[in-house]
Structure 1
Amino acid sequence: MKKTLHTLAVAAAVAGTTVPAQARDGQFSLLVLAMPSKYHYEYIPIARESFEKLAKLHAFELMWTAQPGAFEGDLSKYAAVVLLNSSGEEFNEAQRTGFERYMRSGGNAVVVHRAIISKPGMWPWYEKLVGRSFIIHPMLQTAVVTKADAGHPATFGLPDRWIWSDEWYEFSNPHGITIHPVLAVDERSYDPTKIWPGQVAKGMGADHPVSWWHPYEKGRVFVTALGHNGEMYREGQYLEHLWGGVWWAATGLGVQRRP
């Protein structure tokens, strides 16, 4: 058996381009872009199965694709688009234009893990959409995640202190974007400096968001830095977090605010 896992994942992703998982009678339509890359490909069939189950359970229409060319078409039918470990830095000019037009027309976006990362200065509009710029991350470690906004649906399925293992991305804010943190990581619960030789990670201190939301153009953006490996897309609490963010982005509903 000479085929690598990467080859198989690429073939599966391409073969499964834009297949609806729900008849056209759902609450809303969702587009998920999941492109295989060097470090993120094994998650794709697992995440797809989980999203298809969510679509059936929660009655929404799902379109799954590995091709960013979908952003050159009509996105107006989608209540939200999900960039699942798929960064906008891979988009060509026509796809960038299509995404910008969608958001400026009231579209909504969900940005997951690797999709946060883009080359500085390549597409400033996308950097602003994400709301933070990736700097570096230490080695994957177990840490304590806390609720920064217990009134957001992306936190409803989580305990107040959640033990989770991930790559704890560090961020900067070169564009001065105001975000609303949903989850944060407690840096006292892991070693922010544990990294590979020749690299330096310092941590972010007490203010270290790992999930947030903010308005952008005429739409809503939900971001989570969590979701590095495939098994996470089988884990119930992570899926509760991700689904809560997707549902909010698509509908704007569910947020609980104190009187």
Structure 2
Amino acid sequence: MKLSHALPALAAAAVVSSTALAADGQFQLLVLAMPTKYHYEYIPVARESFEKLARLHAFDLTWAAQPWAFEGDLSKYAAVVLLNSSGEEFNEAQRAGLERYMRAGGNAVVVHRAIISKPGLWPWYEKLVGRSFVIHPMLQTAVVTKADPAHPATFGLPDKWLWSDEWYEFSNPHGVKVNPVLTVDERTYDPKKIWPGQVAHGMGADHPVSWWQGYEKGRVFVTALGHNAEMYKNAQYLDHLWGGVWWAATGYGSPKRP
């Protein structure tokens, strides 16, 4: 093999690491956590928490810092997690890889910043997410309630949960029907509290912050929660995230299955 041909593979190996935490893991999970301008401090904290989850729940974890894995065969993964890592960062080959994976029955988990994609850049990805990011007010504490208490992503949460986050506002330009898991009560924070020169209006009574849907031949779980590093140490947030990952990877735990 020529060195010039080997360099991409060597580079990929440097940023994709398999953590063999269970010899007979119940499934394999790929987590993509790319360092970006707005999200990077969370990465070592989230990685440690995912590795603990893998040991506790006996699944095999592959952690990636760049999306080169999406150019290869993803079929071994029960689900892929886009952890604050949007598809807008993918090149053409990586986009094609994710599309092939989902069309073959793969499953995806989309977390916080991964929701955001430049409108019109990759409509397929916008439809996978199910909602399009509009804007968010300043980070505030608010009351989160269960829209679907039968979903595993709610099992570790109280009926009313005090949480502090960026309460993303969404639009639905593609008319996608999603199934809300958690909603935020806009009466418990100020949806218009934002930086000078920006305007936020809120979404009113119908403001989901987590949802699921069937897409192509797979399952998709989305949570808008998870802005800062400390959240990836929080037991309730990790219960929420793990419940979504487990459901996406297995389809178990909820009577509603796409």
Please indicate the TM-score interval, normalised by the length of the shorter structure.
over 0.9
Q: Which amino acid aligns with 1:226?
A: L
Q: Which amino acid aligns with 1:57?
A: L
Q: Give TM-score, length-normalised by structure 1.
A: 0.93
Q: Does the CA contact (< 8 Å) of 2:22 and 2:54 recur in 1?
A: no
Equivalent position of 1:82 in the other structure = 81
Equivalent position of 1:52 in the other structure = 51
TM superposition shift of 1:25? 1.1
Equivalent position of 2:182 in the other structure = 183
Equivalent position of 1:99 in the other structure = 98
Distance in 2 between residues matched to 1:62 and 1:21, nearest whole Å: 7
Q: What's the CA shift string for 1:180-215, capped at 9, x where partnerless?
A: 000000000000000000000000000000000000
Q: Does the CA contact (< 8 Å) of 2:33 and 2:84 recur in 1?
A: yes
Equivalent position of 1:198 in the other structure = 197
TM superposition shift of 1:141? 0.1
Q: What's the CA shift string for 1:94-133, capped at 9, x where partnerless?
A: 0000000000000000000000000000000000000000
Q: Which amino acid aligns with 2:111?
A: V
Equivalent position of 2:164 in the other structure = 165
Counterparts in 2 of 1:209-228, with a 5 A limit? 209-228=208-227
Structure 1 vs Structure 2: percent identity of aligned residues? Answer: 82
Equivalent position of 1:9 in the other structure = none
Q: Does the CA contact (< 8 Å) of 2:115 and 2:224 recur in 1?
A: yes
DSSP-derived class of the 1:18 partner: strand
Q: What's the CA shift string for 1:198-245, capped at 9, x where partnerless?
A: 000000000000000000000000000000000000000000000000
Distance in 1 between residues matched to 2:162 and 2:70, nearest whole Å: 36
TM superposition shift of 1:15? 5.7
Distance in 1 between residues matched to 2:66 and 2:15, nearest whole Å: 10
DSSP-derived class of the 1:31 partner: strand
Equivalent position of 2:3 in the other structure = none
Task: Give the length in aligned residue pairs.
Answer: 244
Q: Which amino acid aligns with 2:64?
A: T
Distance in 2 between residues matched to 1:45 and 1:16, nearest whole Å: 14
Equivalent position of 1:72 in the other structure = 71
Structure 1: runs of 5+ lacking an equivalent: 1-13
TM superposition shift of 1:21? 3.9
Q: What's the CA shift string for 1:143-173, capped at 9, x where partnerless?
A: 0000000000000000000000000000000
TM superposition shift of 1:142? 0.2
Instruction: Report the RMSD for the aligned CA atoms in angstroms.
Output: 1.1
Equivalent position of 1:126 in the other structure = 125
Equivalent position of 1:30 in the other structure = 29
Distance in 2 between residues matched to 1:81 and 1:19, nearest whole Å: 14
Q: Which amino acid aligns with 2:120?
A: G
Counterparts in 2 of 1:225-240, with a 5 A limit? 225-240=224-239
Equivalent position of 1:62 in the other structure = 61
Q: Does the CA contact (< 8 Å) of 1:21 and 1:56 recur in 2?
A: no
TM superposition shift of 1:23? 3.7
Distance in 2 between residues matched to 1:21 and 1:122, nearest whole Å: 36
Q: Does the CA contact (< 8 Å) of 1:43 and 1:231 recur in 2?
A: yes
Equivalent position of 1:5 in the other structure = none
Distance in 2 between residues matched to 1:189 and 1:145, nearest whole Å: 9
